Each structure stands twice: as C-alpha cells, then as structure tokens.
C-alpha cells in the first residue's frame, strides 16, 4: 500500500509505504490524525488530495467507539421488563454470527484463539477486555483484507492487555494483516514489525 501527498482535513502524509507481511503500529497523541487516517483507509472519509495505491479491498476499523456503540445497542434492546429473568444481552456467539460466519466457523475460530469461553455469555456480562476481544473476532470473521485496531489497549487492565496482546499475536501468526494505532509507547504491540509516528496530522 502506498500513500502519497495525502490531505484530509488536518491529516498530512507526504509518503507512506507498507509491504506484504509488515505489521505497522502508528503512534501519535490526541488529534494527531490516527483515527482520521483509519477513517480514510476504511472508506468512511474521502481525502481532499493525494493518492492511495494498492489499498486492500476490504478494510475493517475496530475502535473503542464501536465497542461503546455495541454496548449502547445492547442496553437499548434490554428486554428485562418483559421477561422473568434479567436480560444479559446478545451472547458472544450471536454477536459473532453478525459477521456472516456460520456457527461452526465462529466456534472453531474462537476455540483456536482460546476465547471460546465467552461465546455463551451475555455481552453485558463481559469485561472491557473480553468485549474488545469478541468484537475483534467479529471483525476477523468478516474476512477483511486489513484490520485496523484503533488504540486497542486503551483502558484495559494488565491481565486484559496481556490476553489481547496474545490474541493479536495469534492473528498475526494466522496470517492476518493488522494495522495498530496507539497514543503511547507502552501500547506498541510486540507483534508489530514497523513503527511510524504521526504528529499533528
């Protein structure tokens, strides 16, 4: 993938090239343009100038905002008032099936990545780390050519960070193409092979 003279609002990238097999982590503070870049690559935003060559056809963007919107949707669909039990939300499996995968694929993949224990639990019962792993699996099951993880470790405790780091390494070992966006050096994942810095876009 090659980006040249890219301009989109505050985002400015003169040249950035990635090659097959490289796992990039772009680091930058707030308002540095990380999420704007993800928005451009995923097709949510259109650049004003510049070119993007060899952009993967299917780009998925996983962010905290997506996790929060999923939780809010589960709260909105709460049926506790109409049931004789507490509604814990859609199960992990039901959420994975929204990717278009069948149950066998979802269970096999979750088992391979050692997270099958969350499949039968309600979404509202999951910890932040478990919910993030579940939505990451959902994105992978949708079979993107590139998965962008926007600050995936933000707000996680030490155990959840370690588990998510292990999951990301497993995905890399499986041959998935990942792009990490981070705002702290401590959040650079060990599986990344290349580092880029974004400053004020």
Q: How many domains does the chain have?
A: 1
Confidence label for 78 from pLDDT (cuts 50, 70 and 90): low
Q: What is the tens place of the pLDDT at every residue in 117-152?
A: 999 999 888 888 888 888 888 888 988 999 999 999
Q: What is the tens place of the pLDDT at every residue in 101-124?
A: 999 999 998 888 788 999 999 988
Composition of the chain by helix, strand, coil, percent to 5:
40, 20, 40
**DSSP designation for 170:** H
Provide the CATH number for the domain around residue 31: 3.40.50.300
Q: What is the tens place of the pLDDT at every residue in 43-53?
A: 999 999 999 99
Q: Which domain holds residue 103?
A: 2-197
Q: What is the pLDDT of residue 93?
A: 95
| Predicted structure pTM score | 0.82
Which one has a higher pLDDT value, 64 or 163?
Answer: 163
CA atoms within 13 A on the CB side of 152: 30
Whole-number Å distance between alpha carbons of 111 and 41: 30
In Å, the largest CA–CA distance within the chain is 59
């Amino acid at each position: 993938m090659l980006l040249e003279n890219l301009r989109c609002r505050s985002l400015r990238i003169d040249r950035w090239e990635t090659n097959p097999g490289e796992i990039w982590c772009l680091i930058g503070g707030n308002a540095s343009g990380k999420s704007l870049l993800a928005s451009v690559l995923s097709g949510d935003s259109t650049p004003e100038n510049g070119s993007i060559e060899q952009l993967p056809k299917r780009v998925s963007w996983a962010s905290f905002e997506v996790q929060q919107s999923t939780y809010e949707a589960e709260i909105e669909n709460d049926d506790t008032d109409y049931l004789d039990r507490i509604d814990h939300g859609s199960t992990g499996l039901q959420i994975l099936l929204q990717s278009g995968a069948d149950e066998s694929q979802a269970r096999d993949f979750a088992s391979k990545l050692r997270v099958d224990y969350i499949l039968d639990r309600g979404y509202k019962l999951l910890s932040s780390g478990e919910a993030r792993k579940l939505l990451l699996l959902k994105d992978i099951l949708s079979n993107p050519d590139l998965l962008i993880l926007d600050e995936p470790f933000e707000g996680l405790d030490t155990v959840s960070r370690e588990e998510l780091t292990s999951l990301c390494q497993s995905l890399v070992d499986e041959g998935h193409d990942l792009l990490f966006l981070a705002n702290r050096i401590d959040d650079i994942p060990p599986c990344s092979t290349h580092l880029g810095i974004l400053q004020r876009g």
